[in-house]
Amino acid sequence: MMSPLCYDIFDSPIGILTVVADTDALCRVMLPSNDHTTQEHKCWHYAPSTTLLKQARTQLLDYLHAELHTFSLPLRPQGTPFQCAVWHALAHISFGQTWSYAQLAAHIGRPSASRAVGAANARNPLPIVLPCHRVIGSNGALTGFNGGLHIKRSLLYLEGIKPTHTCKAIMTS
């Protein structure tokens, strides 16, 4: 049986963040663009004073104020084995570095799976902590980010990275 989930919601330099944990690991970070009032959210218990949620809040705010480069939180992301392999590999991308989707695919031993790596990144339940924002296109372009490209750009700038350009979707009528 799964442990009950607790959450905290707080303001940050990039907007409202929600962190969700079970009794001993962080399970989710919700960015400002996420719906913080989902049906799933109604099953969680508001418990901002739990040790783990206080640590998550403190570490996220320290990171967003450029005072922390590496997170030290117990994590429990839920996903397929492939997704979990991608998310685990994200932890190898250091503060101030970027990898391309192709580099990340090669790192997990699936060099032809760049698109699948991108899809796994899009489902990363622990953005910022598992730094999917550090993954960019092979040409240096900023590509999709669940929190929005403006937040991805802000996070990279915070780390001293100046992306070469942004890849935008082309709209046709």
Structure tokens at 23: 């009794």
Examine residue 71 and state whether it is found in any structural domain, yes or no: no
Give percent of the chain above pLDDT 90: 71
Q: DSSP 3-state assignment of 61? A: helix
Give the number of other CB atoms < 10 A from CB of residue 109: 9
Nearest to 127 by CA among 151, 104, 105: 151
Q: What would the pLDDT profile of 139-160 be if each residue is shown by its tens digit?
A: 888 888 888 899 999 999 999 9
Domain that holds residue 153: 81-166
Q: What is the tally of structural domains in the chain?
A: 2
Q: Which of 23, 38, 64 is the last residue of a domain?
A: 64
Q: DSSP 3-state assignment of 113? A: coil
**Residue 116's CATH number:** 1.10.10.10
pLDDT over 90 at 74, yes or no: yes
Same domain, 18 and 54: yes
Residue, of 63 and 43, whose pLDDT is higher: 63
Examine residue 73 and state whether it is found in any structural domain, yes or no: no
Same domain, 88 and 60: no
pLDDT over 50 at 169, yes or no: no
Examine residue 1 and state whether it is found in any structural domain, yes or no: no
Q: Which of 15, 39, 64 is the last residue of a domain?
A: 64
Indicate yes or no: pTM above 0.85: yes
Structure tokens at 30: 């919700």
Residues classed as catalytic: 132
Are 4 and 45 a contacting pair, CB within 8 Å? Answer: yes
Examine residue 26 and state whether it is found in any structural domain, yes or no: yes
Q: What would the pLDDT profile of 100-140 be if each residue is shown by its tens digit?
A: 999 999 999 999 999 999 999 999 999 999 999 999 998 88
Nearest to 97 by CA among 107, 83, 110: 107
Give the number of other CB atoms < 10 A from CB of residue 34: 17
Examine residue 72 and state whether it is found in any structural domain, yes or no: no
Same domain, 56 and 86: no
